[in-house]
Amino acid sequence: MKPKPPTPQTPPASRSGSVTLTLPYTAPFDWPRLLRFLAGRATPGVEAVDANTDTYQRVVEWAGVSGLLTVRCEPQRAVLLARLDGAVSQHADALAKPLTHLFDLHADPGAIQAHFCRDLWLGPLLAAAPGLRVPGAWSGFELVVRAIVGQQVSVKAATTLTGRLVQRAGQLIVEAGPAAQPGWRFPTPERLASADLTNIGMPGKRVAALQGFAQAVASGDLPLEPAAADCATLRAKLLALPGIGPWTVEYVAMRAWRDADAWPSTDLVLMQAIMAREPALVRPAQQRERTEAWRPWRAYAAMHLWNEIADRAGAARGG
């Protein structure tokens, strides 16, 4: 049976507008590799990873108010400490759940290890990184934007382009503090749908797809949260939009919808990783057949294969 971590602890809000949530997890938990993944994809101005303090920061918004989130790990206690500064701290209780999803704190590493330990490919990868998690996303909208922007470009280029979007359609907030900290709120669907994205560095068709997606979310035609519809319905709705392909849908399912069995089968890095192990598995259908043995944890298999490449390259590769 999957162990249930204790309920997150929420102290009362202080007069300064600061609250620290204590978010427990089941060890092992690979905080350094999770930070590496987030750092390589951090949207400039919105989020950042401080390598000196091993902390993650981002501007967050909830119920119409904003503030700064700062998260660090205390492995001795098996908890994350998530500090909320600014007006958003008054919603600390409500934010415990999305933060738990963001950092995949409900994962059961023992069950995942038991499932993969006898797999000739994945067993060694889990032994090398037993606490690897599937990083979540602050919002499904933000993640889809990032995925569309990242089509056919590198992770670094996608990060640069997303930062430009923030400058065009985001909002600089006061609550975020010094310039060294993130200070921009990610664009809302309404603002992104109507923004002038001329000469932003993306092909016209991709800009049209991006703004068409933003408009669909802004109008309410496309709900992005699993609470609004089941994952199968969400997949179909998202896939029906122009410029959205299967990779984007599965990537969003992995990180935003917390589908532990999501599998972005057309991901080039994953395909190359499989063929490196078995050159005969060239076609996507052949590869999908091999991945059937990884159900219902294929999202974790994807993370371990991406992580292997990132470990070798010393960089953020995959996803």
pLDDT of residue 4: 52
H helix or E strand, kind and range, residue 73: strand 65-74
* DSSP symbols for 171-219: EE-STT-STTS--EEPPPHHHHHHS--TTSSS-HHHHHHHHHHHHHHHH
| 108-132+258-319 CATH choice from 1.10.3470, 1.10.1740, 1.20.58, 1.10.1670 | 1.10.1670
User: Quick one: average pLDDT of 282-295?
Assistant: 93
pLDDT confidence band for 8 (50 / 70 / 90): low
pLDDT confidence band for 102 (50 / 70 / 90): very high
pLDDT confidence band for 3 (50 / 70 / 90): very low
What's the N-to-C CA distance of the chain in angstroms? 30
| 140-172+179-255 CATH choice from 3.40.47.10, 3.40.640.10, 3.40.1380.10, 1.10.340.30 | 1.10.340.30
pLDDT of residue 259: 95
User: Quick one: average pLDDT of 277-285?
Assistant: 93
φ/ψ of 84, rounded to 5, equals: -115, 120
pLDDT of residue 110: 96
Q: Identify which of 26, 115, 34 has the alpha carbon closest to the alpha carbon of residue 319.
A: 34
- The yes-or-no answer to whether 1-106 and 140-172+179-255 have a common fold is no
On average, the pLDDT of the chain sits at 91
Domain map of the chain by residue range? 1-106, 108-132+258-319, 140-172+179-255
Q: Identify which of 90, 57, 82, 66 has the alpha carbon closest to the alpha carbon of residue 179.
A: 57
User: Quick one: average pLDDT of 246-252?
Assistant: 94
Q: Answer left, alpha or beta for residue 30, where phi above 0 means left and psi between -120 and 50 means alpha.
A: beta
- Catalytic center residues: 267
Structure tokens at 62: 């909830």
**Across 186-313, where does the E strand assignment appear?**
none
User: Which of the residue ranges 120-129, 167-176, 308-317 has the most confident prediction, judged by mean pLDDT?
Assistant: 120-129
| Integer CA distances (angstroms), 41 to 109, 150, 155, in order | 24, 10, 7
| 1-106 CATH choice from 3.60.15.10, 3.40.50.620, 3.30.310.20, 3.40.718.10 | 3.30.310.20
Yes or no: say if 246 and 288 are a contact pair by the CB < 8 Å rule.
no
Question: Could you read off the pLDDT of 172-210 as tens digits, one per residue?
Answer: 986 555 656 799 999 999 999 999 999 999 999 999 999
Q: How far apart are CA 243 and CA 144, in angstroms?
A: 11
pLDDT of residue 227: 72
Question: Could you read off the pLDDT of 15-72 as tens digits, one per residue?
Answer: 349 999 999 999 999 999 999 999 999 999 999 999 999 999 999 999 999 999 999 9
| Integer CA distances (angstroms), 32 to 45, 83, 218, in order | 22, 19, 36
**Weakest mean pLDDT among 5-9, 38-42, 225-229, 310-314:** 5-9
